[in-house]
Amino acid sequence: MVGIISYGVHIPWHRISHKTISSAMGWFNAASPPGEKAVANYDEDSITMAVSAGMDCLDNLEREKIDGLYFATTTSPYTERQGAGIIATALDIRPDIRIADFAHSTKAGTTALISACEVVKAEAAKSMMLCASDCRLGKPGSTQEHIYGDGGAALLMGDNMVIASLEGYYSLSYDFTGEWRASWEDFGHSLEDRFVQDEGHSKFIPQAISGLLQKYQLSIKDFAKVIYPGPSARLHAAIGRRLGAEPEQIQDPMLTSVGNTGVAHTLIMLVAALEEAKPGDRLLVASYGNGSDALFFQVTEEIENMKDRRGIKDSLALRKELSNYEKYVAFRNILPVEKGIRGEKYEGYFTPLARQWRERRAILALCGSRCKRCGTPQYPPQRICVKPGCGAIDEMEPYRFSDKKGRLFTYTADNLSYSPSPPAIYGMINFEGGGRYWFDFTDCDADSLKVGMPVEMIFRRKYADKEHGMNTYFWKAIPVRT
């Protein structure tokens, strides 16, 4: 039996109301859709969101047993550098694995999921991980600016302890140019909305689902949940009626709480369905983008072991509203912002690439060292143990800090240093089990921090250098989410 072993999700902390977007445009206000959408922070992109979803997915699992990692996105920061390689390194997965990026279509996530399951079924790997995320830009004032939300999902596939087995799938492929974006563009293009909806969503999704039902001699009534994306609540409901599904069968598309998260959208909805699923439930999952993939899952008894996750509901509850449209577009570098003297770039302001390579596990995976003699952990990795009375030399083993929680020892809120979301906050963390280091803070307000409070680590973008086409990543601290 091959299928999903574990799942994870990342929904950004920031939200922006559609009314806030509309009011900034003035003339567009009357057509504002209801609700809000999730907005990636200034230091987030598709790679950092994929890592965060992956960390959630791998909670309490042995990373050493993962044999491959696929990354699906339409918004990779790189054209020539595998995002899957960065993610696998950040998650501290061993290097002798299979990696690949799936891109260029919003159905790339389900295509990668099918491919991962096929690899396991062929016994070429025991477990394969899929991380999917998107951080798409809608041109200011466009429909896409309202529709597009940011987020990520991760699934671990294997043949042991399966919580939802993949029973079958059916795929359609069309070169339908309804939405597109060239490699050199920040904003996408779309044909007239009604044409895209009538010729794209309203046809491809029902065709794929009908093909699946016919292939496996099933009825839409056989499924506890039917999961598929839609560009609007109205069209989403219309597709459900066309399929003959009852309202209670249709999974909430979260268009008014998260938005359409592109490649990750269907998989985030699948995670939400798995959180509510019972043993024996059948789940029908369909994606959209240059065709559609339709998949059929059967939930097993193992689902009962997944009930203590943070999950979708808690992620939706942990939020901060962006009430300022200008700050939102500044996060996206759509609006140039004066950085001041302290924000100017200088030669060599990011870690040299040679050092990034040599110390990749320390930088990307936040791996330090632990003394084999006395068990004292240290970061960065050291040759000599600092514990008084020990002082062992070259008796160290790798020790990962990224999945450890800690306590805030001391912190500073700096209004002089440049930050896209001032003030810049940084502080010293004492890790549970030992070890101490200072980190930048993100996704929090200075007033919410208190000495001694529990914190956890999150993978974020440290620098973005457009001149050299280089993003550098490191770990930051956030208050433990409860």
Residue-wise pLDDT for 148-199, tens only, equals 999 999 999 999 999 999 999 999 999 998 899 998 899 988 888 889 888 9
Is residue 348 scored above 50 in pLDDT? no
How many other CB atoms sit within 10 Å of the CB of residue 109?
35
Q: How far does the chain reach from its first CA to its final CA, in angstroms?
A: 35
How many Cα atoms occupy the beta-carbon half-sphere of 226 within 13 Å?
Answer: 27
Residue that wins the pLDDT comparison between 306 and 205: 205
Mean pLDDT of 408-416: 95
- Predicted confidence at residue 347, as pLDDT, reads 42
- Predicted confidence at residue 265, as pLDDT, reads 97
Is residue 282 scored above 70 in pLDDT? yes
Residue 266 and residue 288: Cα distance in Å, rounded? 8
- Predicted confidence at residue 97, as pLDDT, reads 96
Torsion 243-246-252-256 (CA) sign: positive
**Residue reference for tokens 């906050």:** 425
Least confident among 38-42, 56-60, 405-409: 56-60
Q: How confident is the model at residue 306 (pLDDT cuts 50, 70, 90)?
A: confident
Is residue 458 scored above 50 in pLDDT? yes
CA distances from 470 to 70, 87, 122, 149, 273 (A): 22, 16, 37, 24, 37
Percent of the chain scoring above 70 in pLDDT: 96
Mean pLDDT of 413-430: 92
Record the tokens describing residue 465, joined without a space: 């250098």
Least confident among 194-208, 325-339, 392-406: 325-339
Residue-wise pLDDT for 89-119, tens only, equals 999 999 999 999 999 999 999 999 999 999 9
Residue 49 and residue 350: Cα distance in Å, rounded? 21
Mean pLDDT of 432-458: 96
Residue-wise pLDDT for 196-240, tens only, equals 888 999 999 999 999 999 999 999 999 999 999 998 899 999 999
Three-class HEC string of 124-153: CCCEEEEEEEECCCCCCCCHHHHHECCEEE
**Residue reference for tokens 């779309």:** 190
Q: How confident is the model at residue 10 (pLDDT cuts 50, 70, 90)?
A: very high
Q: Assign residue 393 a region: left if phi > 0, alpha if psi is -120 to 50, beta otherwise?
A: beta
- Predicted confidence at residue 346, as pLDDT, reads 44
Q: How confident is the model at residue 345 (pLDDT cuts 50, 70, 90)?
A: low
Closest by CA to 36, choosing from 25, 21, 24, 46, is 21
CA distances from 102 to 9, 76, 214, 258, 308 (A): 18, 10, 28, 23, 30
- Predicted confidence at residue 402, as pLDDT, reads 97
- Predicted confidence at residue 51, as pLDDT, reads 98
Residue-wise pLDDT for 357-397, tens only, equals 999 999 999 999 999 999 999 999 999 999 999 999 999 99
- Predicted confidence at residue 219, as pLDDT, reads 97
